[in-house]
Amino acid sequence: MTRSNQSLKNMVMAALMLALAYILPNFTGNIPQFGSMLLPMHLPILLCGFLCGGPWGAAVGFIAPLMRSAVLGMPPMFPTAVSMAFELAAYGFVTGFLYQRLPKNLGGIYASLISAMVCGRVVWGVVRALMTLAGNNTFSFAAFIAGAFTTAIPGIILQLAVIPALVLALQKAKLVPQAV
């Protein structure tokens, strides 16, 4: 595939993942409690990193929550969408960066995915803590653990089940680099 064809493919796939990130939260009924449990916006961002690489994944991850907030008011822009933008950018970048460098087998897929999930949650926590310094909100370590892990357990399980299966299926379809 030529470089321009690859760029076009990445642009189209990134646009598709951005559209999915915009639409999938509708399936949780735009109810914040369900959204923070199932994390529907995270799925296409993680997948974008695998499909298009780190820079595209980071761009789509950063844009998705801000765009959705600007258009629909959900999630609320400050502090939620802003902190999510950095979190999802980290997800997209780390999955793409590691997937390009690790073996394209199930172990490499999980290593990329879990690393991205941890990095993204740490980035989210750091951004939320920094935003707390600028505002009148409090953000404790307990709030970080609850927001990043405890409340999100169903979404984490969903990501660990769905993303590797999708990446393996996309490998078989030759839409992402595959194990040799």
CATH code for position 47: 1.10.1760.20
Residue with tokens 């761009």: 59
Cβ neighbours for 171, distance < 8 A, ≥ 6 positions apart = 104, 177, 178, 179
Which pTM value belongs to this model?
Answer: 0.90
CB distance 113 to 156 below 8 Å: no
The range of the structural domain enclosing residue 161 comes to 3-172
The confidence score (pLDDT) of residue 55 equals 97
Q: What angle do CA 124, 128, 132 make, to 5 degrees?
A: 170
Q: Residue 178: inside a domain, yes or no? A: no
Q: Report residue 103 CA to chain centroid gap.
A: 21
Q: Residue 177: inside a domain, yes or no? A: no
Question: Helix (H, G, I), strand (E, B), or coil: what is residue 138?
Answer: coil
Q: Residue 131: inside a domain, yes or no? A: yes
The confidence score (pLDDT) of residue 27 equals 83
Divide the 180 residues of the chain into consecutive groups of 10 and give the mean pLDDT of each group: 86 97 85 75 97 97 97 89 96 97 96 97 90 73 70 90 96 80
CB distance 104 to 55 below 8 Å: no
Q: Residue 180: inside a domain, yes or no? A: no
Q: Report residue 27 CA to chain centroid gap.
A: 17
- How many domains is the chain partitioned into structurally? 1
Buried b (16+ CB within 10 A) or exposed e, 72-96: eebbeeebbbbbbbbbbbbbbbbbb
Q: Residue 63: inside a domain, yes or no? A: yes
